[in-house]
Amino acid sequence: MKHWFVAVLLVSVSSVVHAADPSFDCARAQSDAEVAVCTSEALAELDVETARLYQLAVAGVSGARLDELKAMQRGWIKGRDECWKSSLDLSTCVANEYAFRIMDLRTGYSDARSDDASGISLGPKVLDCDGFDAAIGVVFVNGQTPMAVLRWRDNAVALSRVPSGSGGKYQSSAGLDGVASLFTKGSEAMFTPPGGAQLTCRVEEVG
């Protein structure tokens, strides 16, 4: 799957490991990614939301599907912990890894969506875009650093919210394939995929 990443500025509130309160024990933080989470309230918030969705998903499956979910979570943690290898700065890579995992959990496990009042993520919803031959799934993460995650075919992109006079506007940083953007207002939306033309879309609920 091809991913495009947004450069999200996540300011650490302190250089002390216990500056934030994620779902795991910061006294036992080992990877650079875990240390980054423990020193950033914004990243810790994403970690708590991911852990919340994961626990809801675990409670709703059993047998082989539970084994698969646990294996995927272990694989995701390994990928997050390898953000030190990324060309992106560590905080941006970690934030994107959490955003994509939040989308995976919300999309793949209905039980992960059973208690939205307790979390910061919404969706998946679907963008039905004129002249575009694929449905685009979208999940919104409304935390300290609001993000929108979109997925279609074998592509996925994470966008950060930027100032807008009305509605919600999300945008990526410039990459090799160009800038991606999303504007939503009510059920109407405009989406520009990386390197593509702007699409007129409608935001629809998943049946």
Closest C-alpha to 194, from 3, 53, 1, 13: 3
Closest C-alpha to 174, from 192, 188, 154: 192
pLDDT in tens, the chain (207 residues): 555 545 444 433 334 445 679 999 999 999 999 999 999 999 999 999 999 999 999 999 999 999 999 999 999 999 999 999 988 889 989 999 999 999 999 999 999 999 999 999 999 999 999 999 998 999 999 999 999 999 999 999 999 999 888 889 999 876 657 789 999 999 999 999 988 999 999 999 986
Query: From CA 75, how far away is CA 98, in angstroms rounded?
Result: 13
Q: What is the CATH number of domain 2-205?
A: 2.40.128.200
- CA Rg, the chain, in Å? 17
Closest C-alpha to 46, from 69, 26, 22: 22
**Residue 109 CB: number of other CB atoms within 10 A?**
20
